[in-house]
């Protein structure tokens, strides 16, 4: 727990933290209650941009969560058209990130990036199903060593106003490696290959880079869960 809270800050957060510290310092000379409030905001910014290390399962074929959050939806859906994966629905796992989750995104599975495309759009509530189609997004298609393909998508939300990514066509990526970040509250979708069942249930909490969403080598059917 302490390692997660006291984790290093992602480089994208440094300007925001610096601005918070400066504004808080200047406010202390004008009105101390305001400075106290700004100090709390600055601490939250530091917390939001934390970037903890994760223990990534390395067995070939495992699909890990691209983000911390809650599994919001598991539905059949057509991948984003910009990825050119056809119009056949695939199993889509949607993970919703609230403003208190770690927002650094990780590659779900290692392979070669076939397409990476950014698409501007709206800023609807990321919890809505139509956010996958209408919101600003960054979509990636990866070919894994056995030839199958997986898609994963960063989606901006109601509060989020910027998707950051460091990935492009032709990149060789590793499972669990950092590749981007979304500010401030968002969603990540993962599209599984045909015939691969999800190993998580709606309502489960995921840890980016650690929680296993699916296993390409498994013949297990989709898991069921209940609140206890």
pTM for this model (two decimals) = 0.90
Residues 6 or more apart whose Cβ sits within 8 Å of residue 84: 115, 141
- In this structure, are 97 and 207 located in the same domain? yes
Placement of tokens 């997660």 in the chain: 4
Residues 222, 198 contacting (CB under 8 angstroms): yes
Assess whether 186 carries a catalytic annotation. Answer: yes
- In this structure, are 21 and 130 located in the same domain? no
| Number of domains comprising the chain | 2
Residue 183: CB atoms within 10 A of its CB come to: 20
In the set 132, 139, 186, 211, the catalytic residue is: 186
Task: State the pLDDT at residue 43.
Answer: 93
- In this structure, are 188 and 81 located in the same domain? yes
- In this structure, are 123 and 35 located in the same domain? no
pLDDT in tens, the chain (228 residues): 555 556 788 898 899 899 999 999 999 998 999 999 999 999 988 988 999 999 999 999 999 999 999 999 999 999 999 999 999 999 999 999 988 899 899 999 999 999 999 998 776 666 666 667 778 899 999 999 999 999 999 998 766 557 889 999 999 999 999 999 987 668 899 999 999 999 999 999 999 999 999 999 998 888 888 888
CA–CA distance, 68 with 211 (Å, rounded to integer):
9
Residues 6 or more apart whose Cβ sits within 8 Å of residue 160: 123, 126, 136, 182, 183, 184, 185, 186
* Sign of the C-alpha dihedral computed for residues 122, 167, 115 and 210 taken in this order: negative
- In this structure, are 27 and 79 located in the same domain? no
Residues 179, 107 contacting (CB under 8 angstroms): yes
Burial of residue 221 (number of CB atoms within 10 Å: 0-12, 13-18, 19+): exposed
CA–CA distance, 201 with 2 (Å, rounded to integer):
28
Residues 6 or more apart whose Cβ sits within 8 Å of residue 66: 95, 105, 106, 107, 108, 152, 154, 188, 190, 208
Strand partners, 92: 75, 191
**Structural domain boundaries, residue 182:** 62-215
């Amino acid at each position: 727990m302490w390692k997660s809270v006291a984790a290093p800050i992602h480089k994208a957060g440094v300007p925001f933290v610096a601005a918070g510290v400066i504004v808080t310092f200047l406010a202390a000379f004008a009105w101390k209650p305001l400075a106290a409030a700004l100090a709390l905001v600055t601490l939250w910014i530091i917390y939001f941009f934390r970037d903890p290390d994760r223990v990534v399962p390395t067995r070939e074929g495992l699909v890990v969560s691209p983000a911390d959050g809650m599994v919001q939806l598991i539905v059949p859906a057509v991948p984003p058209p910009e990825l050119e994966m056809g119009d056949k629905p695939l199993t889509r796992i949607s993970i919703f990130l609230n403003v208190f989750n770690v927002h650094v995104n990780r590659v779900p599975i290692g392979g070669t990036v076939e397409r990476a495309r950014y698409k501007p759009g709206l800023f609807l509530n990321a919890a809505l199903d139509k956010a996958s189609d209408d919101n600003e997004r960054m979509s990636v298609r990866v070919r894994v060593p056995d030839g199958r393909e997986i898609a994963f998508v960063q989606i901006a939300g109601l509060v989020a106003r910027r998707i950051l990514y460091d990935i492009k066509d032709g990149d060789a990526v590793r499972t669990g490696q950092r590749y981007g970040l979304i500010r401030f509250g968002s969603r990540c979708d993962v599209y599984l290959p045909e015939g691969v069942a999800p190993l998580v249930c709606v309502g489960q909490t995921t840890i980016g880079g650690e929680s296993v969403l699916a296993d390409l080598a498994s013949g297990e059917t989709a898991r069921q869960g209940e609140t206890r």
